[in-house]
Structure 1
Amino acid sequence: CVKAPTILVWFGGRGYRGLTLVLTFLCYTSYHLSRKPISIVKSQLHPNCSALGTNPHNGSNSTTWCSWAPFDQDNYKELFGALDNAFLVAYAIGMFISGIFGERLPLRYYLSGGMVLSGLFTALFGLGYFWDIHVLWYFIIVQVCNGLVQTTGWPSVVACVGNWFGKGKRGLIMGIWNSHTSVGNILGSLIAGVWVSSEWGLSFIVPGIIIAAVGIACFFFLVEREWWQRADTQHSRSQGCPFLPADPEDVGCSPPLSAESSESPKEPPEEPEAISFLGALRIPGVVEFSLCLLFAKLVSYTFLYWLPLYIVNVAHFGAKEAGDLSTLFDVGGILGGIFAGLISDYSGGRATTCCVMLVVAAPMLFLYNRIGQTGIGTSVAMLIVCGALVNGPYALITTAVSADLGTHESLKGNAKALSTVTAIIDGTGSVGAALGPLLAGLISPTGWNNVFYMLIAADGLACLLLARVVVKEVRGWCGYMARKRGYVKEQ
């Protein structure tokens, strides 16, 4: 075995694992970074110029403006709901298809291509400002196209990470890794806030450029799976090569040759077939977690798209201040995702962890609506707590649970189910993500209290849908404790 250079050997082992983790983190951070600007810009698109007693400045050469037709009408909330729904319905439909393609195409090409297209459509939305476009259908069509191409992200990044990390500390690792969602929301809010009150088109164009640039980096550097996972690693190490990739020439090592293989080359083992949609649904737990995520994501995405406008309307902050304050919800989401992953790893109860957090989230949402705007300190604390409890279960289901189910023992080692299972779970959740902002747009004219009642009801339904899996986990714990007590008595 010819040894590779030391740095290349290290990079081919643990280095590639770390590189994959960092790159996929940056990839999905940029996905969420490009989704967030619409929620920040909403509060600046709808003021009616005539009501303010000023003249509109909507031309591309203007530096100030106070409204943007057609969003300056009294039904602006319904129009914003239509924009959100256009993106999210397209995303939900595309997600069920995306997983199927993700299992059959090279993930690196699929992911990087989707990111470049996402950057294009995000920028096109912002170019509507500079091109002086006031046609609702232009913005809806751009949102639909963006929703479809953004479905390339989640199945691809979860499949990449799932290929590299086993189940031992998957909850904690993916809990930390899943903070990309909240980091992307925070960065998207801050970047969009820079231009929200002047040239709002740049609030979309700059994130579009960022996601396209990260997609290009992904194309050149992402390694989607362990190269040595089907090789005789033990033999290669005994010959002085710490790691043996699937294509040994890439790091300068030759594969081990037995006497039989030296005389007549063996044909490579056949790759397992990608799992079907119905086959993935038959994996135990997929249906329950998918339906739970539908309601959990409904709550999370309602906050994602409507929290800044809620703060503007209730606390009477400016658009930039409301956008900056809304990032605290995502700070809580980071903490909640890590906490949920750590607890579920320690206890072995993914469903129970989700259920407990959902139960506690319901009264916290009620309290935030009642007392969350009474003072800045209270608002900060409540936003962090609500963000942790709402996004914790959402993060756990879309990462560690999806990876667990995609590598379930019933698959008998067929890793080609991971992208499809991830797409089914997140696609079902995306139906809720589409319903939440739409319902918020329809209900909010009747009062924000009713919006929060809707969110609390969704939290309760998400918890109920996990009841069967929770009972199964509790019975497993009881059986384990009974066996342990019996063993101690025998001793």
Structure 2
Amino acid sequence: MRSLAPGIKLITSFSRDSWYRFFILILTFVFYTTYHLSRKPISIIKSQLHRNCSNVIHPADLNITDNDTWCDWAPFDQNNYQNLFGVLDNCFLVAYAIGMFFSGMFGERLPLRYYLSSGMILSGLFTVLFGLGFYWQIHSLWYYCLVQALNGLVQTTGWPAVVACVGNWFGKGKRGFIMGIWNSHTSVGNILGSLIAGVYVSSAWGLSFIVPGIIIASAGVICFLFLVEKPEDVNCTLPQHHESVEQEPLLRNSSSNEEIFSTNTSTAVEPVEDHTEAISFCGALRIPGVVEFSLCLLFAKLVSYTFLYWLPLYIANVAHFDPKKAGDLSTLFDVGGIVGGILAGLISDYSGGRATTCCAMLIIAAPMLFLYNKIGQNGLPTTIGMLLWCGALVNGPYALITTAVSADLGTHECLRGNSRALSTVTAIIDGTGSIGAAVGPLLAGLISPTGWNNVFYMLISADVLACLLLSRLVYKEVRGWCGYTTRQRGFKEI
């Protein structure tokens, strides 16, 4: 009998369940990549909406009345343009933060495939409408604010839905590492969004929104056609449960030792009975660790989103790069974020300390932010290095909390098998974090006219507060490592 080709051997070595899990992981990765891809252009085109027009060559037939603002896009041609940019960001982020608290509950009660695909298509529509303002010659701040607010609302469909879907398919074994890799969709989306927007920013900035809008709407159609919400929908086995001799008898059959990918589906045990009633908002808050991680994410996301919306403009103003070059350089922050998210997941899996991993990275991030502001523009190599380090340390804890920690809390053993809590828990944590995401760019817009140093002091203060909010959980984890509690992993209540 002839031996199979090595490639075929590799393919057939994985079970049908494993291929489905891999397919869902890739699919949800692509979906949330498009969400962030459509959010990023606003930060790229800011430096195009308000420029130093005295350095721009104007058409010969143009009658110039004000040499300083003729090339700017009204209403952002005034001296308070930074405040207006902050208002524009805040319209999206406040709507996103408010909508997120309701989105999780809707996600638990509606089919995820319909919910996610409709959100992506609507997000594509509103992203395109923002870009059409360039071609329709719209100069009303209210128009752009309204489109941003509506886009913020529909974008809340994304995160709870994709996390709930991944949580349905995967257990907790190596969850931090796997979700650290998977969560790179945030940074990949930011990078792609920056590059796409950068292609059109100097010629026709409307296309910087229209192209990403078409992409996310197309992904919504793919979601409707191919997303599988749960393993049982295609006769796949549920994530496997293995007993651990270190666990108390009451906690046996919990999902704390499930494998992410399993090539053997014949050893699956009877799944825990699923509750039919979705968890309440107050019930989700009572899950141990939800409040602490939610408040920590508020300040961690404040820092991350301030960089997301203001970094290209900061680079353009301080290092005096053109809008495209500043946008390209800002992607290095997201490249560092990919590495930081994977590293945070890997360390937390190995150590069993989610809170301690987040706290350690936040502690190191504070002086790194200070250094970036002081020496980050002293030459291109220094800029690249500091952006990579800051991206890794700022986005690492943010990525870990929004993925592995949210999934752990949403499947906590105190829920006794209620798998429908995952979407609500994820929405509470990310919704609280989104409050910080809304406040950060707004504060940056208000503070930046007084100097960029003050913006960085604000970011460092937020970073320290995020670290302090995890102190109780870190203390519990350290006591656990020292043998003062039973040998449980991470933040779980004993």
TM range (shorter): 0.7 to 0.9
Q: Which residue of the partner structure matches residue 22 of structure 1?
A: 26
Q: Which residue of the partner structure matches residue 77 of structure 1?
A: 82
CA distance in 1, matches of 2:220, 2:80: 37
Root-mean-square deviation (CA, aligned residues, Å) is 2.6
How many residues in Structure 1 have an aligned counterpart in Structure 2? 443
Deviation at 1:105, TM superposition (A): 0.5
- Answer yes or no: is 1:476 the counterpart of 2:476: no
| Contact 1:49/1:66 (<8 A) preserved | yes
1:126-158 deviation per Cα after TM superposition (whole angstroms, max 9, x unaligned): 000011101110000000000000000000001
Q: Which residue of the partner structure matches residue 455 of structure 1?
A: 459
Greater CA drift, 449-458 or 15-24: 15-24
Amino acid at match of 1:410: C
**Greater Rg over alpha carbons, structure:** 1
Task: Identify the match of residue 308 of structure 2 among 288, 299, 304.
Answer: 304
| Contact 2:93/2:437 (<8 A) preserved | yes
Q: Which residue of the partner structure matches residue 487 of structure 1?
A: none
| Contact 1:175/1:395 (<8 A) preserved | yes
- Answer yes or no: is 1:167 the counterpart of 2:172: yes
- Note the 1:20-169 alignment, pairs <5 A: 20-47=24-51, 49=53, 54=58, 66-169=71-174
Q: Which residue of the partner structure matches residue 223 of structure 2?
A: 218
Q: Which residue of the partner structure matches residue 349 of structure 1?
A: 353
TM-score normalised according to structure 1 size: 0.86
1:214-254 deviation per Cα after TM superposition (whole angstroms, max 9, x unaligned): 111111111112115778999xxxxxxx869xxxxxxxxxx
CA distance in 1, matches of 2:455, 2:399: 23
| Contact 1:337/1:395 (<8 A) preserved | yes
CA distance in 1, matches of 2:206, 2:448: 26
- Answer yes or no: is 1:327 the counterpart of 2:331: yes
- Answer yes or no: is 1:391 the counterpart of 2:395: yes
Structure 1 portions without partners, runs of 5+: 1-6, 59-64, 235-241, 245-268, 484-491
Structure 2 portions without partners, runs of 5+: 1-10, 64-69, 242-263, 267-272, 488-494
CA distance in 1, matches of 2:474, 2:217: 41
Q: Look up the SS of the partner of 1:379 in the other structure.
A: helix
CA distance in 2, matches of 1:346, 1:97: 34
- Answer yes or no: is 1:202 the counterpart of 2:207: yes
CA distance in 1, matches of 2:62, 2:412: 58
Higher share in helix: 1
Amino acid at match of 1:17: R
Task: Indicate how the Cα distance of structure 1 residues 230 and 278 shifts in structure 2: closer, same or farther if over 3 A, else same.
Answer: farther
Deviation at 1:51, TM superposition (A): 9.0
| Contact 1:48/1:72 (<8 A) preserved | no
Calculate percent identity across the aligned residue pairs.
Answer: 77
TM-score normalised according to structure 2 size: 0.85
Q: Which residue of the partner structure matches residue 432 of structure 2?
A: 428
CA distance in 1, matches of 2:341, 2:13: 33
CA distance in 1, matches of 2:283, 2:13: 39
Deviation at 1:272, TM superposition (A): 2.2
Task: Indicate how the Cα distance of structure 1 residues 161 and 52 shifts in structure 2: closer, same or farther if over 3 A, else same.
Answer: same
Task: Identify the match of residue 414 of structure 1 among 418, 434, 438.
Answer: 418
Structure 1: which 4+ aligned runs deviate by more than 2 Å?
7-12, 47-58, 228-234, 269-272, 480-483
Deviation at 1:168, TM superposition (A): 1.1
Deviation at 1:8, TM superposition (A): 12
